[in-house]
Structure 1
Amino acid sequence: MLTSTIFVQPTSFLVPKPQIFPPKSTQFSLPTKICNPKMSNFGGFSVKAQLSGEIEPKTLIEYVGKGGIDVGDDLVVLIDHLQYACKKIAALIASPYNSSLGKFVEGSGNSSGSDRDAPKPLDIVSNEIILSSLQRSGKVAVVASEENDAPVCMTDDGPFVVVMDPLDGSRNIDASIPTGTIFGIYNRLKELDHLPHNEKASLNSLQSGTKLVAAGYVLYSSATIFCATFGSGVHSFTLDRSTGDFILTHPSIQIPPRGQIYSVNDARYFDWPEGLRQYIDTVRQGKGKYPKKYSARYICSLVADFHRTLLYGGVAMNPRDHLRLVYEANPLSFVAEQAGGKGSDGKSRILSIQPIKLHQRLPLFLGSPEDIDELESYKDIQQTVNPGYEV
């Protein structure tokens, strides 16, 4: 892994034409009123039914701004640039021209992982889109990305530090399976400003998950969903493709205390430790603390599996030390906790783990609090041997 800090320069990247969204400087025109049809309950949260009448729509930026929870002007600007980048990625993924970008390229990109984790062109393009947009915001001091070996320095006095996985699940692109962007936002540690760039950037990026200011994910699927927490609950916004705005559709999401679904790669059953095998055998027979048989639902896209778990309950997991603490586990665990759930490595609370290196890996278990508690009670649930996955 490289030890020097990367300084980002303006980049160019392939975006299919015609471009769906106008330049950043263009303001979208939002309808003053929309009709809100009756909507049903969705796994632990509900959208209030409106049988008649009209409501004012609330966009993501309106919600985080002074008309909503008011997270502060600096963070509003950052979120505005981040959402714009994610809309460009959504357009790129949905484009008929992305097939060549989804192909694996030998020897490309990140030296921090195995060939299995080596980035594809679409990963790199997504990374460049977000980096360029965050740089233009002027609000970010450092960005740590799964696609870069070292942190990217942007603006010395930027108030925030961003950690991200720009395109999780990109191996699924060719099959049109959901993918996503994961992000976490910290305050810049001003007490480190006197240190050399390399050291300052690294320490800012290795903050404990308990210090997260905001975190979330963007799901690129049948709908594009921007799901985020700013430390006061979890809220989901759906992209209205007619206006280009993310509209608040699922406020104050609460994960059910217990679900009936587990998400894991069952093909690795015989590599699992005894405790994990016992847990899975027990719950799928309906002999656990919840007297119903659990069903397996596994997409092999972390954002998609977690999004379903957040809505319906249960547990999404990877028992081997594969997922990255900084870019994936911390942000998603913060979202899970803000929705009333839990994030664990099988022994400890994820957010209590102090990162010691950027690409640090660990097992990850996310989900309903009662399901996580029951799973942890089996003790031996971390997979310590990874046949066929050696790095």
Structure 2
Amino acid sequence: MQSTAISPFHQLVVVNPKLQTSISKPQLCLARAPFCRPRNGLDSGFGMRPLRVLGGSSSSATSDDGFVTLIEYVGKEGINVKDDLVVLLDHVQYACKRIAALVASPFNYSIGKQTGLASVHASGSDRDAPKPLDIVSNEIILSSLQKSGKVAVMASEENDAPTWISDDGPYVVVTDPLDGSRNIDASIPTGTIFGIYKRLEELDDLPIEEKAMLNSLQSGSRLIAAAYVLYSSATILCITFGSGTQAFTLDHSTGDFILTNPNIEIPPRGQIYSVNDARYFDWPEGLRKYIDTVRQGKGKYPKKYSARYICSLVADLHRTLLYGGVAMNPRDHLRLVYEANPLSFIVEQAGGRGSDGKNRILSLQPVKLHQRLPLFMGSLKDMEELESYGDIQQKVNPGYEV
């Protein structure tokens, strides 16, 4: 008789369908078992203190225990988020919970060997060679966007061309499904990045391939929302709707993202720079001079700067957002559409700046889907000092694969 046992791989990838909002929270926790565990007195929610609503706030915008969830925040906090966008975000956060469970699973290393996906790569493509978990994460996000009914087109770092989903979806989503996935085997933090635009209705009469591409190549100045999700000791979703930047931490006891960092403000100066300085001798003179100056404490901020580099874009940016300083990759490596635009929008809404070393990132017009560029993000005064050195973009990349 054939066994009906489910393999660990399928247990990871196949999870319960979305539940009706009328289901109570205890039932929700049981139904979403991959993301939940029974609440007990020892569960501290990763040691972070969720934000309880303070005096003057409406109790209707909170859950029964007084904490503000992501969906409650966007649905009832008066930040002018339309119902369609709330529905979309609910599906996006659900996809990110599935990815968080996948990344943290003891079975993720075996997925590549079971599926044989590691060798898949489009010859001559501008994309990195895809990895198995990248592909699974991409499929999870695409499935969630399709089920939301609110997305016209998805453009992903994992696909050569945008995917047209629905003629009447009001939104366009661009995403890097699993940034830093090469670090997973070493348990180094990874992340998901996404940006949301409105569909350009004036393009509706164009052929599908053409309107899909043009919708995906919108300038970052047209973003209506952007977020990253950090998969680390905690799973943190940091998001902006163009009116400040907020961070929510996943509570595994309920499966909810809880508001833990309201109205993040990046310090105007930090004391940390984040870059692969093993490539110091490949850098242009201006960048070398800046790094030499600040780490000796001879810059405009008279303290010696420290280097902190994880080689995971989302993790390096998250630390920079909280502590200040600059996170950078000076060579033409990071993608304007999927990484630079959404992350720069988040940084700017926290009071910082995103730049290619010469120009504001959000002012750039993408000309191709997988366009690469140098990226510098961080504290406003640190960024101004860095850019004042002029020659900071690394245009020669000896030793790198093309």
Same fold (TM over 0.5): yes
Distance 1:263 1:180 in 2: 17
Decide which of 156, 160, 163 is 1:145's aligned counterpart. Answer: 156
Distance 1:110 1:230 in 2: 35
Structure 1 ranges of 4+ moved more than 6 A: 18-21, 46-50
Distance 1:135 1:375 in 2: 42
Decide which of 119, 123, 136 is 1:125's aligned counterpart. Answer: 136
Q: Read off the aligned partner of 1:375 and give its amino acid letter.
A: L
Q: Read off the aligned partner of 1:17 and give its amino acid letter.
A: Q
Q: CA deviation at 1:67?
A: 4.4
Q: 1:256 to 1:21 in 2, by over 3 A?
A: farther
Residues 235 and 252 in structure 1, CA contact (< 8 A), matched pair in contact too: yes
Q: Structure 2: which 5+ residue stretches go unaligned?
A: 1-6, 27-39, 55-63
1:90 equivalent in alignment to 2:89: no
Residue in structure 2 matched with residue 6 of structure 1 by the alignment: none
Residues 52 and 67 in structure 2, CA contact (< 8 A), matched pair in contact too: no
Q: 1:374 to 1:356 in 2, by over 3 A?
A: same
1:81 equivalent in alignment to 2:91: yes
Residue in structure 2 matched with residue 10 of structure 1 by the alignment: none
1:101 equivalent in alignment to 2:101: no
Residue in structure 1 matched with residue 227 of structure 2 by the alignment: 216
Q: CA deviation at 1:18?
A: 6.9
1:25 equivalent in alignment to 2:35: no
Q: How does 1:217-366 map to 2 (within 5 A)?
A: 217-366=228-377
Residues 274 and 327 in structure 2, CA contact (< 8 A), matched pair in contact too: yes
1:188 equivalent in alignment to 2:202: no
Distance 1:21 1:66 in 2: 29
Residues 102 and 174 in structure 1, CA contact (< 8 A), matched pair in contact too: no
Q: Deviations over 1:241-293 (max 9, x none)?
A: 01000011110000000000000001100000000000000000000000000
Secondary structure of the 2:11 match is: coil
1:166 equivalent in alignment to 2:177: yes
Larger mean Cα displacement after TM superposition, 99-108 or 311-320: 99-108
Q: Read off the aligned partner of 2:166 and give its amino acid letter.
A: T
Q: CA deviation at 1:69?
A: 2.2
Residues 276 and 381 in structure 1, CA contact (< 8 A), matched pair in contact too: yes
Q: CA deviation at 1:110?
A: 4.6
| Identity level (%) | 74
Q: Deviations over 1:74-124 (max 9, x none)?
A: 000000000000000000111111012367955314556579x21110000
Residues 320 and 363 in structure 1, CA contact (< 8 A), matched pair in contact too: yes
Distance 1:253 1:282 in 2: 29
Residue in structure 2 matched with residue 206 of structure 1 by the alignment: 217
Is the helix fraction higher in 1 or 2? 2
Q: 1:329 to 1:249 in 2, by over 3 A?
A: same
Distance 2:48 2:197 in 1: 33
Residues 53 and 67 in structure 2, CA contact (< 8 A), matched pair in contact too: no
Residues 71 and 90 in structure 2, CA contact (< 8 A), matched pair in contact too: yes
Q: 1:66 to 1:83 in 2, by over 3 A?
A: same
Residues 341 and 366 in structure 1, CA contact (< 8 A), matched pair in contact too: yes
Q: Read off the aligned partner of 1:25 and give its amino acid letter.
A: L
Residue in structure 1 matched with residue 76 of structure 2 by the alignment: 66
Q: Read off the aligned partner of 1:62 and give its amino acid letter.
A: E
Residue in structure 1 matched with residue 400 of structure 2 by the alignment: 389
Residues 111 and 118 in structure 1, CA contact (< 8 A), matched pair in contact too: no
Q: Structure 1: which 5+ residue stretches go unaligned?
A: 1-12
Q: CA deviation at 1:29?
A: 3.8
Secondary structure of the 1:235 match is: strand
Q: CA deviation at 1:364?
A: 0.0
Q: 1:138 to 1:346 in 2, by over 3 A?
A: same
Secondary structure of the 1:17 match is: helix
Q: CA deviation at 1:25?
A: 1.7
RMSD of aligned C-alpha atoms? 2.7
Q: Read off the aligned partner of 1:150 and give its amino acid letter.
A: A
Residue in structure 2 matched with residue 4 of structure 1 by the alignment: none
1:56 equivalent in alignment to 2:81: no
Q: 1:180 to 1:106 in 2, by over 3 A?
A: closer
Secondary structure of the 1:330 match is: helix
Q: Deviations over 1:186-236 (max 9, x none)?
A: 000000001111110110000000000000100000000010001110000
Count residues in correspondence: 368
Distance 2:19 2:292 in 1: 55
Q: Read off the aligned partner of 2:141 and give its amino acid letter.
A: I
Residue in structure 1 matched with residue 31 of structure 2 by the alignment: none
Residues 175 and 192 in structure 2, CA contact (< 8 A), matched pair in contact too: yes
Residue in structure 1 matched with residue 3 of structure 2 by the alignment: none
Residues 174 and 195 in structure 2, CA contact (< 8 A), matched pair in contact too: yes
Distance 1:361 1:351 in 2: 14
Q: Read off the aligned partner of 1:319 and give its amino acid letter.
A: P
Secondary structure of the 1:320 match is: strand
TM-score, normalised by the number of residues in structure 1: 0.88
TM-score, normalised by the number of residues in structure 2: 0.86
Q: CA deviation at 1:17?
A: 2.4
Q: 1:15 to 1:141 in 2, by over 3 A?
A: farther
